[in-house]
Amino acid sequence: ESLDDSQVAGVRATEEVIRYEYHVIYSSSYQVPVLYFRACFLDGRPLTLDEIWKSVHACYQARLLEGPWDTITQQEHPLLGQPFFVLHPCRTNEFMSSILTSSQKHNRHTNYIILWLSIVGPVVGLNLPLSYAKLAPEQNTTADSV
């Protein structure tokens, strides 16, 4: 039996539109990119850490809870000086180097930023379209051909 109009409207009323803002910033201390983000409702009210946390998919939550260094925290944006949420960068080298090594073994061309963002982005609601992965090597940034 199909849903009638009122039931569909009832479901929609509990959904909220949230505006996310993502910044990728290079950390000279850890020498890796770091994902900063913030989110607010359409009326401008910012999401709290609790609300951000609830929007993280359950399958990622367990992984994030494993260690204090991998959690989402509120940090000051190093250029804007405003509060943002951040995924701590100190494990980035670990997971990136193992992927990059295996890519090299299979002679696969990689773009560091796309690779990195496709891993950390989805945790916080940023899903890269597959078309990024299909970019031919010549279309990648010059940085990764060095």
Partner 1 sequence: MTDDKDVLRDVWFGRIPTCFTLYQDEITEREAEPYYLLLPRVSYLTLVTDKVKKHFQKVMRQEEATEIWFEYEGTPLKWHYPIGLLFDLHASNTALPWSITVHFKNFPEKDLLHCHSKDVIEAHFMACIKEADALKHKSQVINEMQKKDHKQLWMGLQNDKFEQFWAINRKLMEYPPEDSGFRYIPFRIYQATTERPFIQKLFRPIASGGQLHTLGDLLKDVCPGAIAPEDGEQKTQVMIHGIEPMLETPIQWLSEHMSYPDNFLHISIIPRPTD
**Binding region for partner 1 (CB under 8 A):** 28-30, 46, 48-49, 68-69, 73-83, 88, 90
Q: What string of H, E and C letters represents the secondary structure of the chain?
A: CCCCHHHHHHHHHCCCCEEEEEEEEEECCCCEEEEEEEEEECCCCECCHHHHHHHCCHHHHHHHHCCHHHCEEEEECCCCCCEEEEECHHHHHHHHHHHHHHHHHCCCCCCHHHHHHHHHHHHHCCCCCHHHCCCCHHHCCHHHHC
Instruction: Between 10 and 46, name the residue whose CB sits nearer to partner 1.
Output: 46
Smallest distance from the beta carbon of 29 to partner 1, in angstroms? 5
Catalytic residue among 64, 90, 96, 119: 90
Instruction: Between 69 and 132, name the residue whose CB sits nearer to partner 1.
Output: 69
Smallest distance from the beta carbon of 81 to partner 1, in angstroms? 4
Instruction: Between 8 and 49, name the residue whose CB sits nearer to partner 1.
Output: 49
59 assigned to active site: no
Smallest distance from the beta carbon of 141 to partner 1, in angstroms? 22
As annotated, the active-site residues are 90
